Amino acid sequence: DIVMTQSPDSLAVSLGERATINCKSSQSVLYSSTNKNYLAWYQQKPGQPPKLLIYWASTRESGVPDRFSGSGSGTDFTLTISSLQAEDVAVYYCQQYYSTITFGQGTRLEI
């Protein structure tokens, strides 16, 4: 299985500031024939199911605010929230779907 490791485990950011969450995979999730990274990001708030934010490492899901962006390739990826809003407090997970699906352990984002 591909192991996904997120850093940090928790993060406190002031309102309006930038938040950066990292995700590293134990092997590349870049599929050469499609040149796509099989990597997604989710946001989960208490008592709710996860919400898809980003797929193909950098494609924003419809309706997701443009302050959320994804970057990276191969084994190293980043989710950036450009200007933190109060409603962004949540746990964030990366997920690879290159092979049998695995998730990162989650990063708790607080203000």
1 binds other proteins, rule: CB under 8 A: yes
DSSP letter string, 52-107: EEEETTTEEPTT--TTEEEEEETTEEEEEESS--GGG-EEEEEEE-SSS-EE---E
68 binds other proteins, rule: CB under 8 A: no
Site string for other proteins, 2-21 (x = CB under 8 A): --------------------
Residues that bind other proteins (CB under 8 A): 1, 38, 40, 42, 44, 49-52, 55-56, 61, 93, 95, 97, 100-106
